[in-house]
Structure 1
Amino acid sequence: MIPSETGPVLRADNVDVVRDGNRLLRSISVTVQQGEHWALLGANGAGKSTLLDLLGAVKHPTRGVVEVLGHRLGRVDVRELRSYLGHVNPRHALESGLSVRQLVLTGATNTIELVPRWAPTPEQEARADRLIELMGMGGKRDLRWPNLSQGERGRALIARALMPSPRLVLLDEPATGLDLAAREQLLSSLDTLRREHPSLATVLVTHHLEELPASTTHALLLREGECMASGPVDEVLTTDQVSKCFDHPVLITRAGGRWSARAAV
């Protein structure tokens, strides 16, 4: 299977997801083009993770069409398709004490641990080193996973996700559990990544506007499984629409490319 190099990176058309009689998503449609950087926002339980699972070819819709890299779910080997995606999950299930460099190299085999008797090529080693530098981890490539801070783990996992040169990277609440400094380092790294790879598309899930990089181009607001608004970020992340999405009056401001929200007086 060869991913399509043309057309949308992702397309969901009138998608429903029903599990155990509960409708988790209702009539969701979204198209992500090459070079776009989407944010999925909503309160806890809004359906963000469910939608991300569809876009990452982890789950199938109950109704509707989902196409990932030009291939329709239900008509493609999703295990092979997922090997062309970068997926960053801060709850990465690594149990051994791999170094940062070893962790990043597992992205070449799409495995959690290093594959026994597998040896990276010189080109793969060089790519891992470049990605580690790109994410600001050059001085920490030999540090072991148990000794990394949460922020360092997040940046290492993004480098790992980039090893197979994906056209799409999915980020599932990458700033979860980070303190202020670590969050800012992570978001700066994401902005750098997007500048260095202009054709890359990304989808980032969060429920905090402060966790959005300045390079975000589009947004989708979810509330109770339904799309409240979708499109260019400055048209979607407005005081009125975010207040409706979270069912609470908030004032949205943007300064220096970054967003903040506070309770409306």
Structure 2
Amino acid sequence: MVIDLENVSFQKAKKPILQDISWQVRPGEQWAILGANGSGKTSLLKLITGYEWASAGRISVLGSVFGSVNIHELRKRVGWVSASLDQRYQMHEGMPCADVIVSGVHASIGVHEAITKADGERALALARSMGLEHVAFSPLSQLSQGERKKAFMARALINEPELLILDEATSGLDLSAREQLLAEVERMLTRKQAPTLLYVTHYPEEILPSISHVLLLKKGRVLAAGRKEEVLTASLISEALGLPLTVEWANGRPWVKATTAFAHGLDNGD
């Protein structure tokens, strides 16, 4: 089992954040985690990666049960890309793109330890595979938002993780850059040795053809979990996101629209 959560709850300052979460991710499955702001998506990721500890329940990740595993060693098997990573690199805007990628070897912000020739070659190979060869030696400050996101994804992949977490990876991107990044994720998922993916988003249309399953969260609880075709229904998505929606499928992706009545209400200023 890649991830196994049994009756997991989490509270902070006595406030319930996650309640009675039971969820399993099996080898070969690729998951999206979908929910509105405040639904508990990021808190769930922090529990899975050991940056927060559950108030109750049992957590197992990559076959290791929390409480009897070295979390620091476990994290070496997990790649994580989030908006906070970009923020942490704002103090290193002069760092070349290739160095950003290679910093993932030691999961550091910046390069502070010796890097082998093989590490450097692997970083450049990842840059090429992500279409970043032309900016590999350019400072981070000169990269577009889309290129930055790709660099951080390459950083997460350099240790060939068994589990890859992309937390709102397209945040801040325009439509073109978003679709380019999503295409890169889809290419990665079709490779033979692809890691298990947890793709966290607010937007159902970002759930790619190669993503097989969806976990739907609402107010810290599991609303639904299973194969995406069974979970991404109009009724369930409407309940999770808090507004009436319809769902249409095109090219293996779900596209949601507000219902006519709701859209008219917006047009009338209601």
What range is the shorter-chain TM-score in?
over 0.9
Are the counterparts in 1 of residues 188 and 194 from structure 2 also a CA contact under 8 Å? Answer: no
Equivalent residue letter for 1:99: P
Q: Alignment partner for residue 26 of structure 2, among 24, 30, 33? A: 33
Question: Are the aligned partners of 1:36 and 1:200 in contact in 2 as well (CA < 8 Å)?
Answer: no
In structure 2, what is the Cα distance between the partners aligned to 1:264 and 1:48? 26
Equivalents in 2 of 1:50, 1:242: separation in Å?
A: 20
User: Which residue of 2 is the match for residue 49 of structure 1?
Assistant: 42
Q: Does 1:24 align with 2:17?
A: yes
Deviation, 1:57, is 2.2
Q: Measure, in 2, the Cα distance between the counterparts of 1:73 and 1:167.
A: 17
Which whole-Å CA distance do the structure 1 matches of 2:7 and 2:194 have between them? 26
CA offsets per residue over residues 158-215 of structure 1, 9 Å max, x none? 1100111110001110010100010001000001111124441010111111222222
| Deviating more after overlay: 27-36 vs 98-107 | 27-36
Q: Distance in 1 between the 2:126 and 2:28 partners? A: 19
Q: Does 1:135 align with 2:130?
A: yes
Aligned to 1:225: 220
| Counterpart residue identity of residue 84, structure 2 | R
Per-residue deviation at 1:254?
Answer: 1.2
Specify the SS of the correspondent of 1:87.
Answer: strand
Aligned ranges 1:202-217 → 2 under 5 Å:
202-217=197-212
After superposition, residues 64-143 of structure 1 pair within 5 angstroms as 64-92=57-85, 93-94=88-89, 95-96=91-92, 97-116=94-113, 118=114, 120-143=115-138
Residue 136 of structure 1: CA displacement? 2.0
2-structure distance, mates of 1:123, 1:197: 22
TM-score (norm 2): 0.91
State yes or no: 1:243 paired with 2:238.
Answer: yes
Q: Determine whether 1:259 maps to 2:250.
A: no
> Partner residue of 2:268?
none
- Aligned partner of 2:153 in structure 1 is 158
Percent of aligned pairs with the same amino acid: 35
* Counterpart contact for 1:34–1:199, Cα < 8 Å: no
* Matched AA of 1:109: H
Distance of 1:130 and 1:196 partners within structure 2: 15
Contact 1:132-1:156 at 8 Å conserved across structures? yes
Name the CA distance, whole Å, in 2 between partners of 1:35 and 1:113: 33
Counterpart contact for 1:134–1:193, Cα < 8 Å: no
Distance 1:247 1:14 in 2: 25
CA deviation after TM superposition for structure 1 residue 101, in Å: 0.7
| TM-score normalised per structure 1 | 0.92
Q: What are the ranges of 5 or more consecutive residues in structure 1 without an aligned counterpart?
A: 1-7
CA RMSD of aligned residues (A): 1.3
Does the CA-based 8 Å contact 1:54-1:60 persist in structure 2?
yes
Q: Which amino acid aligns with 1:87?
A: W
Larger Rg: 2
